[in-house]
Structure 1
Amino acid sequence: MRQPNIARAATVLAGAALAAGVVGAAPADAATVEFPQVPTLAHGGICWTSIHTWAETSPQWPGRAILNVRADPVAGVGPGDYPLAPLCEVRTTVAWRNLNTGATGVYENNVVTGLYGSIQYALFQDTGPGRVEVTVSTDTASVPAHGTFDVPA
């Protein structure tokens, strides 16, 4: 037996509200901190792009943070059949230092970017709890970025 339109609409809205509450739920103290973009040249032609980096922390991962790296769509000229749609790469380094404990680390990736940008690269880092400063740089001409974030205990 089919429900009347009003009953179906109410069921759909109630289900959507419940799903939004479950799916949209995030830890109360979770944090995302974006760092300034790093404009950079890239290998594979005459290429340039910008690197986006950010850190994610949560009390669910005490003493740890996820460092994320992603590149914008590349601009420039490259070799091959499609020189105006080059596929370029740049070695990206996120060096971090915990200001409270003195712990240090480095997250490096060979970021490959093309016409639509790059995939997102992400990795947990055992930073320890405290204030962490980062420096983001590449292996080509670039403008490095600096930032800080807090990691819960």
Structure 2
Amino acid sequence: METRKILLIEDNPEMRENTAEILELANYEVVTARNGKEGVQQAGLTVPDLIICDIMMPELDGYGVLHMLGKDERTASIPFIFLTAKAEKDDYRKGMTMGADDYLTKPYDDVELLNAVEMRLKKSDRLKRQFERSADGLDQFIKEARTFDPIMKLAEDKKVKLLRKKRDHLY
């Protein structure tokens, strides 16, 4: 299996080095950036499999990074994990509303970091999987889609509403 590439955007040198080391020990290729502006440039150059980004940084904060990457077709669908010392509910909501996939609060432990990375990569892989454009491919897609809990929860309370086709009457 190929080595997965992770872009780590963190302005604190010690935090950046420690996090990069944990990820490298878990056999990920790690590209680092010291601030948000550099991170956006690196994402465009390297197109990583996943991005881990601090929120409070000079030049461009994490929210700005997520916004900029979301505007670029090459980087918009890359799984994105925020790292932050801010644990306020409003901060969490803002990040998730903007499209972040996960949110780790500092200090986090190695297992927490690696679990978040692994889960985001697995989910991304499932979403990228191609299905054959045939009846069998559609069946395979539906079977796999049923394994996603959020989809099942949506379907639980569904109400079917039958609508009649509106007819044009000439009087």
Fold conserved (TM > 0.5)?
Answer: no
TM-score tier by shorter-chain length is under 0.3
Q: TM-score scaled by structure 2?
A: 0.20
Higher normalized helix content (fraction of residues): 2
Which of 1 and 2 has higher RCO (CA within 8 Å, sep 6+)?
1
Q: TM-score scaled by structure 1?
A: 0.22
Higher normalized strand content (fraction of residues): 1
